[in-house]
Amino acid sequence: MNTTITSKDEILCVCRELIRKEGYKSINIRHVAKCCHISVGSVYNYFESKTDLIAETVASVWCDIFHFPDYRNTESDDPDESEIFQSFPDCVAWIFDRLKQGEEKYPGFFSLHSMGFIEEEKKDVQERMDRSWFHIRQSLVVVLKNDANIRSDAFDENFTEEDFAEIIFSLILASFVQHDFDARRIFNMIRKMLY
């Protein structure tokens, strides 16, 4: 066996491909080592346990699906990095599009991994998933605060941009669990409440 040490990122890339082709249940130390052409011990150099490997893989998939544009870097040549959402509905539409693309790229990932983690109650996996989701929620807040077309009285100290982003994010999560990538009802609610 080739025991050349590879990087953590390369291992995660192989894991994402395994999820894409074989599903979330294919992620285990031996199988990943075999697919990376490295020893089992080499995988343990980067991941303490199977739970750690799964948690890092799930976070990596979420990052691959939801890589938000960088609002500070509008001079970038990369279209994904220079894009700034013009409105909150544009951002929500982008999220739904990414959900649909994510489901196509990683078939069954959303429902299978969420059900598996709930049953197994793996705190570490849930914490890493929550960190990935935090990035999405924070991006929603940034877009809300930058959308100049939102009514001036839409938010106050009793109902903030953060509160609204949390509600929208919850609706987005419910949609992806149900494989419902039609955002029209959410768009209508956003328009009625904010504009």
pLDDT value for 115: 53
Residue by residue, pLDDT tens for the chain (195 residues) are: 454 657 999 999 999 999 999 987 889 999 999 999 999 999 999 999 988 898 889 888 888 888 765 544 444 444 443 356 889 999 999 988 888 888 889 887 776 655 555 444 456 666 766 777 788 889 899 999 999 999 999 999 999 999 999 999 999 888 877 878 888 999 999 999 999
Q: Give pLDDT, residue 35.
A: 94
> What pLDDT score does 122 carry?
57
Report the distance separating Cα 113 and Cα 98, nearest Å: 17
Q: Return the SS3 of 182.
A: coil
Alpha-carbon gap, residue 177 to 20, rounded angstroms? 18
Q: What is the pLDDT of residue 119?
A: 47
Q: Indicate the pTM of the whole model.
A: 0.75
Task: Give residue 136's pLDDT.
Answer: 84
Write down the pLDDT at residue 176.
78
Q: What's the confidence (pLDDT) of residue 54?
A: 87
Per the rule left: phi > 0, alpha: psi between -120 and 50, beta: everything else, 47 is beta
